[in-house]
Amino acid sequence: MTDRFSKLVQDFLTTYIIGECNYSMNTKASYSTTFHLFLEFMNKEKKIKPNKIEIETITKEVIVQFLDWLEINRNISLQTRNQRLSCIKSFYKYVQVNEPDLFDTCSLILSIKNKKVHNKIISYFSEDEIRIMINYLNNFKDLKKLTMVCVLYETGARISEFINIKLNDLNLSDNASITLYGKSNKVRVVPISQELVKLINKYLKEAYINYGEDYLFYSNYKKSYERSSINKIIHNFILQLKTEYPNYFHGSYSPHSFRHTKATHLYNNGTPLLYIKNFLGHSTISSTEIYASTDSKKQREEILKNAESIKTKNKYSTNKKDNLENWLKK
C-alpha cells in the first residue's frame, strides 16, 4: 500500500480501534476482515495491487462497487453488507478528522446508505422442545452436551460470551450466577438455577478435564471452542432431534436461538422488558423490543382474550341496506 493509505489504515486499526476504543476481539476481527476484503476487491476487480492503492482514488463509487461485489461475488447477506459499510464509515470518520484535505471525499462516502433489511421471524424453541432436548441428552448420558445446552439456555449468552466462560466466572453458591463478558468488554452477572448448579457440579466432577486455561468447555483439540465448532454441534444436534421428533423443531436454529428462546420465555411469562434488557446485556431497550413482537404467545393470548369482550350489534336495517344498494347502482 502507498505510504499515506497504509499509515492511515494501520493507525486506525491499532492506535484508534485497539488503543482508544478498546473494542472486543470480534469487532477488531470484523474491521481487519473488511480491509482484507477491500484489498482483494481492488486487486481482482480494479487491477490495483495493495502497494499501489492511493486513498485519493477511493471514491464513493468505488466503495459502492466494493459492497456490491461482496453481495454478489461473496454471497454475503444484507446484514453483513451493512456491517462492512459500518466499518468503512468508521474509518472515514477517522480520516475526516485527521486528514482535512480529504474532508469532502469522506463526506460523500459517509453519505452511503445502508440497504434496508427486512425483519426476519426469530426462531426459538418452545418450552416443550427445551424439555425434549434435556430428556434426549439425559437418555444418551451426554453430560457435556447437556451442560452446554443448559448453560446456553439459562444464561442467554451470546456465543462469544459462552465459549469464553471460565471456572472463575462461576458462582455456584446459594445465589448462583455466571459472569459473562459481552460486547465492548461489558460485564454482566446472570443468575442461574440450583438445578443448573447441580448439573455443572456433576459435569465438573465426572466429565471435565482442565487443559490449563480454566475454560468451562474445551473442544476435542484441548482448546477453547471456535464459534464455527459450536454452530456445528448445535446444527447436528437439532438435525437429530428433527428426525426423532418430526412434530417439533420446525424452525431454522443456531446457538443464538437459545438466547432468543430464553428472552421469549421470560417475556411470555411476564418478565418486564427492562429486566430482559439488562439480562441480555442490550445497550438500548429498542434491541429488546423484538421479543414483544405481535407473534409472541403473550400478546396473542391478550388479543384473543380481549377480543371476546367486543360485541357488535347490527343497527343497520334491511331497508337502509336496500336503499344503499339502489343508490350505488345509480
- pTM attached to this predicted model: 0.66
Q: State the pLDDT at residue 206.
A: 93
Q: Which residues pair with 179 in a beta bridge?
A: 189
Q: Could you read off the pLDDT of 306-329 as tens digits, one per residue?
A: 555 555 555 666 676 667 777 777
The residues assigned a catalytic role are 158, 183, 256, 259, 282, 291
Q: Could you read off the pLDDT of 113-165 as tens digits, one per residue?
A: 998 877 666 688 988 999 999 999 988 888 999 999 999 999 999 998 999 99
C-alpha cell at 261: 428462546
Which domains are present in the chain?
A: 3-110 (1.10.150), 127-304 (1.10.443.10)
Q: Which is more confidently placed, 101 or 270?
A: 101
- Own/partner contacts of 115-123, CB < 8 Å, gap of 24 or more, are 115/78, 115/81, 115/82, 116/78, 117/78, 117/79, 117/82, 119/290, 121/295, 122/260, 122/264, 122/290, 122/293, 123/251, 123/252, 123/253, 123/257, 123/260
Q: Write the DSSP string, 153-212.
A: HHHT--HHHHHT-BGGGEE-STT-EEEEE-GGG-EEEEE--HHHHHHHHHHHHHT----S
Report d(CA 318, CA 70) in Å as an integer. 64
pLDDT at 298 over 70: no
